[in-house]
Structure 1
Amino acid sequence: MTEASLSLTEYGPWMAARLAPAVGQALAASRIVEARPDVDGPGDSTRWQVRALNYVGAVRIGGVELRITPKLPIRRLFFLLGYAADPRGVQRPIGGEVQVDQERDLLPAVAHAFERQAERAVRPGLLQGYRHTEESTTVVRGRIREHDQLRRRFGLTLPIEIAYDEYTPDIAENQLLHAATLRLLRLPGVHLDVRRRLLALRARLADVRALTTGQPLPRWRPSRLNDRYHPALRLAELILNSASVEHHEGTVRIDGFLFDMNKVFEDFVCVALREALRECGGRTELQAGGIHLDEAETVRIKPDFVWYDDSDRPLAVVDAKYKAERPEGFPDADLYQLLAYCTALRLPAGHLIYAKGSAPHAAHHIRNTGIRIHQNALDLDQPPDALLADISRIAAALGAISDKAS
């Protein structure tokens, strides 16, 4: 079968596509999208129905390029991603001055923004720093590690165990830029002119080691010295930490770059609430652990966001849902979940926060409990200042609830 391209929209309608049976089965098993054989078709095994869910981005599977466009404008999505990664850097958005809305698809926009930011970062020259190295060699350099020499060499003169600090461009900042560059070059949908500039960037980073797949990303610390790298590094980490797909499903290889919109929304809401409540005292916990529903502590629950006072008494609980959960037979599953959180934490109220269009504003007073559940609809397609103002209003409501509870 010849290579094909399939374009979908996040949570859009089912679309018909011709896919090799192995490719269709791999796509269905990957859970990136919903895929099923087209039983209403003419009985052709290459006809499939495909629908996008919560993932957006691009993926290549068995020679088929699948692109999933977010409903949210690219510039708004960039703000959500950047704010969740670094709320204090909101004045330096991850897209910088690049006009990301010129792109309709996410991956070309990300690749274009990263290439521009990385080029600006390295234009004055590669950042260099000291890297501590320990190795076995026949030449003395730095200092001899006497303990290791005796323990490993049993009195032999060579090789020599040494340690030294080397001033080199092979540091965490450049390793992250290098790894993000390599990843983008492997993915479908990057424009040719951007790909050429990424190849030039890879050449400039030729002396930087490639990161090992599966290993944690190297840590870097913001400082005055690496200030010009900050926008590119935030983008690099987003590219490398995205819900990337790179594995084999049966005999078909899947390679892609994806964002889970459920997680993007949840991360943004929780970080923005934390920032809005920072001056109110207490502490906030994202993905709060150590909470159980039952007395025997066998049923563990994990709220998205809990606000505690200085004595660790719960003040408020929030659950962020990008899309309302309505599984068959349980149309109000989100309400049941938040009711469990409020019960376990002994709170009189809880807040559900949805993306606008997924659920309306509402308040539910739960019978025989005295618990009130508030549903808040957050409009993501508005300027950052207005969006953060809406978050501040929700934070103020949390404060009002905690005042009544005390």
Structure 2
Amino acid sequence: MTIQMMRRIWPLTKPTMLKSTQSDIEITPVTLNEWDRVEAVARPQLLGTTLRSSPSAQKMTDAIRSQVDIREGYKGLEVSTTSFVGYITVGPLRININPKLQGLPLTVLVRYAYGLRDLEVLGPTLTPMMQHGLHDILISLLIAEIEELLHRGLQRRYIPVSEKLASPRGRILVEKIAFRGGVLNGTLPCLHFQRHSNWKLNQVLRSGLYLAGNMTVDRELHRRVRRLADAFDAVDTVAIQQGDLDEVERGLTRLTATSKPALTLIRLLSGMYGTSIETETSSSRTPGFLFDMNYFFQRLLSRFLRENLDDLSIKDELATKGMFAYAAHGNPKGRPLPRPRPDFALYNAKDLIGFLDAKYRDVWVKGYPASWLYQLSMYALASPNQKSILLYGTTSSEARDERICIRHSVLSRAGSQPEVIVRPVQLQTLAMLLEFSKDASAMREQRKCFARSLVAF
């Protein structure tokens, strides 16, 4: 049975998608890596391909420009990728973007970055999948989380119910009796409470499963999602909005805190679901699933450094003060000055040591744009130690520190040389340190040593 047949049997509530006017056109797959670029001369499927005849595809390319850059070249299309991975369909092209780290190591890092349970706890039924995209890994993790919640039993809550009863329960609604002119039959309007599973948290969980079912084309994942959704048979579905997720997360208590990882995964899957396209008459989303690995990498490092720097601490995205200032009487229009926000500020107690930035791009292999160096140079000049660090993710075992001196006599202080340190973060090593280990104390010391090496100026 194909996925299309399964979906006819078990319809899923789909988010609004951009309707394709080229449904009869054959889709051509193009596979790239993150921070990659291909031209028509290197990929035969791009030769002679154009989007000029499809206004909807051209509108889509404008909407996703910061994620995937698609341009018309002399001989065909040119495609450039950034830190977003996944896939997206644009006109006749299905663009697949693979992360540099895949399988179990990537699953370990995703699990740790977003506070999900250890893979050892999830058991052998969880198989990290990358056949159709990173979203399959997230869906696998979501399945495992909701299976655990269902094993404990659906959380129930007392829900107010207003109805006419022959045997009154709760509070009799006297105002309704007066409004209808007295008691006209053998029932009385009452307000009472029933303990039920059909409340907002369970509605969001079930709707998240429906979203996951629409996102995967893997038959086994789809089957498991369907089975779990059937267990919520008494629960309504809702169109998932960020406001709903915020509301449910704010309302978590000691009894419902176990649902937090599942809500986090639903938020990630919802955020991957295409890019919004606004028109004068409607709003739709591009058909595809894109995940920002740069944001994920920053979150991963933030948690790792917070937990493993005993004598030091970090603050995320701390706005710098006093980096820029107008001269006296030099701001006639009263313009506000920018306040750069490095990804991390490193502190020893209350004393600022320096600034660090995180980029998922493999600088050892791909290099870095000049704008990054300018940015890190400003952070170095604003640091007490006149240094800044760029932490980048890599899978290259030979990657080493690179140090760039900012050479200008006016900028140099007595005995100091402003410097930018470009430092690799070995992703396989980090994943190994974060995996479950029987020798927990030894692994804890290795993690602390690795964390200190990342922030060493």
Per-residue deviation, 1:195: 2.0
In the TM superposition, residue 126 of structure 1 has moved relative to its aligned partner by 4.0
Q: Compute the displacement of 1:263 (Å).
A: 1.2
Q: CA RMSD in A?
A: 4.2
Match of 1:301 in 2: 340
Equivalent position SS for 1:300: coil
- Per the TM alignment, residue 301 of structure 1 is displaced from its structure 2 partner at its CA by 0.7
SS of the aligned residue for 1:355 comes to strand
Residues 102 and 345 (structure 1), Cα distance of their counterparts in 2 relative to 1, 3 Å cut = closer
Work out the number of aligned pairs and report it.
377
Once the two structures are TM-superposed, the CA of residue 389 in structure 1 deviates from its matched residue by 7.7
Partner residue, 2:72 = 37
Partner of 2:406: 366
2:32 pairs with 1:12 = no
> What is the alpha-carbon distance in structure 1 between the residues aligned to residue 371 and residue 447 of structure 2?
24
SS of match in other structure, 1:35: strand
CA distance in 2, matches of 1:338, 1:256: 33
Pair 1:197–1:3, CA change in 2 (3 A): farther
Partner in structure 1 of residue 105 of structure 2: 76
Q: Aligned AA for 2:227?
A: A
Q: Is the 1:111–1:190 contact (alpha carbons within 8 Å) kept by the matching residues of 2?
A: no
* Residue 381 of structure 1 pairs with residue 428 of structure 2: yes
Distance 1:138-1:345 versus aligned 2 partners, 3 A rule: farther
Residue matched to 2:13 = none
The CA deviation at 1:28 is 2.2
Cα deviation for residue 344 of structure 1 reads 3.1
Q: 1:269 aligns with which of 279, 287, 301?
A: 301
For residue 62 of structure 1, report the CA deviation from its aligned partner. 5.4
- The 8 Å contact of residues 26 and 249 in structure 1, kept in 2 or not, is answered as no
The structure where strand makes up a greater share of residues is 1
Would the alpha carbon gap of residues 125 and 50 (structure 1) be closer, same or farther in structure 2, given more than 3 Å must change? same
Q: Deviations over 1:62-89 (max 9, x none)?
A: 57544322221132222222212118x4
* C-alpha distance in structure 2 between counterparts of 1:332 and 1:93, whole Å: 44
Write the mapping of 1:4-403 to structure 2, written as runs, cut at 5 A.
4-10=27-33, 11-14=35-38, 15=43, 16-17=45-46, 18=49, 20-21=51-52, 22=54, 24-29=57-62, 30-31=64-65, 32-40=67-75, 47-61=76-90, 65-86=94-115, 89-90=117-118, 97-101=125-129, 103=131, 105-122=133-150, 124=151, 126-131=153-158, 133=160, 142=170, 166-171=194-199, 173-187=201-215, 189-214=216-241, 215-217=243-245, 218-219=248-249, 221=252, 227=258, 232-240=262-270, 242-248=271-277, 254-277=286-309, 279-280=310-311, 283-289=313-319, 291-295=321-325, 298-310=337-349, 312-323=350-361, 331-356=369-394, 360-367=400-407, 368-369=412-413, 370=416, 371-382=418-429, 384-386=431-433, 392-393=448-449, 395-397=451-453
TM-score (norm 1): 0.74
- Cα deviation for residue 132 of structure 1 reads 5.5
Q: How far apart are residue 254 of structure 1 and its match?
A: 1.1
- The aligned residue for residue 437 of structure 2 is none
- Counterpart of 1:366, as a letter, is I
8 Å Cα contact 1:132-1:165 kept in structure 2: yes
CA contact (8 A) 1:303 1:341 kept: yes
SS at match of 2:305: helix
Distance 1:374 1:162, change over 3 A: farther
C-alpha distance in structure 2 between counterparts of 1:268 and 1:294, whole Å: 30
Q: Following the alignment from structure 2 to structure 1, what is the Cα–Cα distance between the partners of residues 73 and 109?
A: 36
Distance 1:348 1:275 in 2: 26
Structure 1 unpaired stretches of 5+ = 41-46, 402-406
Q: Secondary structure at the match of 1:374?
A: strand
Q: Structure 1 pair 382/93, CA: closer, same or farther in 2 (3 Å)?
A: farther
| SS state at 2:324 partner | coil
Identity of aligned residues (%): 22
Secondary structure at the aligned position of 1:301 is classed as coil
- State the distance in 2 between where 1:337 and 1:85 align: 28
Structure showing greater Rg: 2
Q: Is the 8 A contact 1:33 1:51 kept in 2?
A: yes
**Take 2:198 and 2:123, find their aligned partners in 1: how far apart are those partners?**
26
Q: Structure 1 residues 398 and 114, CA, compared in 2 at 3 Å: closer, same or farther?
A: closer
Q: Residue 2 of structure 1: CA displacement? A: 1.9
Instruction: Give the SS at the match of 2:427.
Output: coil
